[in-house]
């Protein structure tokens, strides 16, 4: 265990280890990573025999769900990273249900009244004490404003921020520790991943941000003229910890009766077109369209809820992504390879031959297999994972977009078994291309490029002068980086630690010999025995460190 973790959050760190190792049997993972010495002795293998009927991915999902809000959100984030994790783990994590025990009305009342600055009766004519939903971060209640409008009120759980800050600190320390000690994990840059995850979670803890996400998507709907419905934010009763929106009534797709008078095919098509348009045209999209967040109104309209998780693709990424899909439609493997390489950063170990073969296989499946077996979402997930495995790093938002399309297709297919994303995708691709090639957009991009070039040229003489000045004064320094330098320094440090412990053990044993041989007083004998015990103990520590390299 990292000393920083132990000093700051020892109790919580022990609880996390207990759940992962003792309850769900993940001690072997620590062994595989070569960091089993971080765990207390005797804890590494217990628990695996207690759940022999559960697969590893399912045990991971259950463990993360049990560890609380930060780890539930971590599981949701990992479920979008098909480029980082094996498909079976990603698929299992997508089944995680974000549910939590309801908190009392008194606690809810306390948060609402503190945030809104007045008694709850002065804010709402009615406030249902029974929650509509209770998740890890917040709890939702039905209510009515004093003007009669029906609303839903989402309230952040009291004291949640402190708990999540503690868990994020533990995750950050653990990521740094693994990054330093396990060479095979350095390519994943775990500290950067945890920082990104922490930023996303901080946004989800601020309901004002969610309100603005909802408002932006609602505004885009009106501009596109689509029939999707998004609840309107009631800004006068919305703060960082309380979100009030209009109450739109609808039923989950999996709870629609077969006799409902709804055009299911039309609803599925509208949902599919909207999500494609969000990703490829607008670049700002609802990134968590699971069953609980997609409702169908009695008149067949699609209702979207919960905008805490959204994705953003900048214009260049949108353009390249749309081009990649068009290349797949045209079965242009070499064009797709070129486009996907532009989307990411090529590494030192990139195998273009292997990457081309994997992209060719993905295109073949996309063209030949039925839509249920290989959709647009699966195509994007496969391409992103192929890039990652061949040492090309791509923005995490691409994985988020692929996961969003997969979730959307699952819901649309439940509405309409004949739903086919591929039939809807091509018109949206053309719309995206037309928008990017519009004269005003091209002119704006040219102007920005000229402005950027002018700024760089204006700074160039000063930069050249700085370099020449450093050369003139003999102060110019070149920095080189060695990817294995940290590992070598770490080995040297451990070697020095062992040498120091060995010398101390030898000194204690020598002192014990002197005391015991020339003992003239019981105190001398006691000191000699204590020195001998200390010397033998330190010697055993050194021996164990040699047998288990990397620990001391």
Residues involved in catalysis:
288
H or E stretch at 346: strand 345-346
Rounded CA separation 521/502 (Å): 29
Give pairs for 332-335: CB < 8 Å, separation 24+.
Answer: 333/359, 333/360, 333/363
Q: How many other β-carbons are positioned within 10 Å of the β-carbon of residue 493? A: 11
Q: Residue 73 has which token pair? A: 């959100």
H/E segment holding residue 183: none
State the helix-helix crossing angle for 522-547 and 485-517, rounded to 10 degrees.
Answer: 150
Determine how many CB atoms are found less than 10 A away from the CB of residue 515. 20
The Cβ of residue 522 has, within 10 Å, a number of other Cβ atoms equal to: 8
Q: Kindly tell me the number of DSSP H helices and DSSP E strands found in the chain.
A: 20, 12
CB of 157 closer than 8 Å to CB of 103: yes
Task: Estimate the crossing angle of helix 376-389 against helix 315-329, to 10 degrees.
Answer: 110
SS3 of residue 470 by DSSP: helix
* Phi, psi angles (nearest 5°) of residue 550: 95, 0
Q: What is d(CA 162, CA 6) in angstroms, rounded to the nearest whole number?
A: 18
CB atoms closer than 10 angstroms to residue 312: 15
> Are the C-beta atoms of 161 and 205 separated by less than 8 Å?
yes
- Write phi, then psi, for 82 (nearest 5 degrees): -65, -15
Q: Do residues 343 and 321 make contact, with C-beta atoms less than 8 angstroms apart?
A: yes
What is the token pair recorded at 119? 């008694």
Q: How far apart are CA 494 and CA 492, in angstroms?
A: 5
| H or E element at residue 295 | strand 294-296
CA distances 102 to 64, 72, 106, 140, 143, Å, are 19, 16, 12, 10, 17
């Amino acid at each position: 265990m990292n000393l920083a973790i132990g000093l700051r959050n020892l109790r919580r760190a022990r609880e996390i280890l207990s759940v992962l190792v003792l309850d769900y049997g993940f001690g072997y993972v620590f062994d595989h990573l070569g960091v089993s010495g971080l765990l207390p002795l005797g804890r590494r293998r217990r628990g695996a025999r207690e759940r022999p009927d559960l697969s590893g991915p399912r045990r991971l999902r259950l463990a993360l769900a049990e560890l609380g809000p930060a780890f539930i959100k971590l599981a949701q984030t990992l479920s979008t990273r098909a480029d980082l994790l094996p498909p079976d783990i990603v698929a299992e994590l997508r089944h995680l249900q974000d549910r939590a025990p309801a908190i009392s009305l008194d606690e809810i009342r306390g948060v609402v009244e503190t945030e809104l600055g007045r008694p709850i009766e002065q804010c709402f004519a009615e406030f249902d004490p029974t929650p509509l939903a209770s998740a890890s971060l917040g709890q939702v209640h039905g209510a009515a404003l004093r003007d009669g409008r029906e609303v839903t009120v989402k309230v952040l759980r009291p004291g949640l921020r402190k708990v999540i800050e503690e868990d994020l600190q533990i995750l950050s320390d653990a990521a740094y520790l693994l990054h330093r000690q396990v060479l095979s994990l350095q390519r994943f840059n775990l500290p950067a991943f945890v920082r990104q995850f922490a930023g996303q979670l901080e946004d989800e803890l601020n309901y004002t941000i969610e309100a603005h996400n909802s408002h932006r998507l609602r505004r885009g709907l009106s501009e596109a003229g689509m029939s999707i419905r998004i609840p309107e934010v009631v800004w006068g009763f919305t703060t960082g910890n309380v979100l009030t929106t209009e109450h739109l009534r609808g039923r989950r797709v999996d709870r629609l009766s077969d006799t409902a008078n709804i055009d299911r095919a039309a609803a599925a098509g509208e949902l599919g077109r909207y999500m494609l348009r969000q990703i490829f045209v607008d670049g700002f999209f609802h990134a968590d369209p699971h069953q609980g967040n997609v409702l169908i109104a009695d008149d067949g309209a699609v209702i979207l809820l919960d905008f805490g998780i959204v994705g953003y693709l900048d214009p260049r990424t949108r353009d390249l992504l749309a081009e990649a899909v068009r290349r797949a439609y045209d079965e242009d493997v070499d064009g797709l390879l070129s486009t996907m390489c532009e989307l990411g950063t090529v590494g030192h170990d990139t195998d273009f031959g292997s990457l081309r073969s994997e992209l060719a296989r993905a295109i073949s499946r996309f063209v030949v297999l039925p839509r249920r077996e290989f959709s647009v979402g699966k195509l994007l997930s496969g391409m992103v994972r192929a890039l990652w495995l061949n040492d090309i790093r791509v923005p995490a938002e691409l994985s988020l977009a692929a996961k969003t399309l997969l979730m959307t297709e699952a819901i649309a297919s439940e509405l309409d078994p004949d739903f086919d994303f591929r039939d809807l995708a091509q018109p949206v691709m053309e719309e995206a291309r037309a928008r990017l090639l519009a004269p005003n957009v091209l002119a704006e991009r040219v102007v920005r490029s000229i402005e950027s070039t002018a700024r760089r040229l204006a700074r160039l003489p000063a930069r050249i002068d700085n370099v020449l000045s450093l050369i003139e004064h003999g102060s110019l320094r070149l920095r080189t980086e060695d990817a294995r330098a940290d590992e070598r320094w770490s080995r040297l440090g451990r070697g020095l630690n062992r040498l120091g412990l060995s010398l101390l053990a030898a000194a204690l044993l020598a002192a014990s010999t002197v005391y015991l041989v020339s003992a003239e007083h019981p105190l001398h004998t006691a000191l000699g025995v204590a020195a001998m015990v200390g010397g033998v103990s330190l010697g055993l520590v050194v021996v164990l460190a040699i047998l288990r390299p990397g620990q001391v």
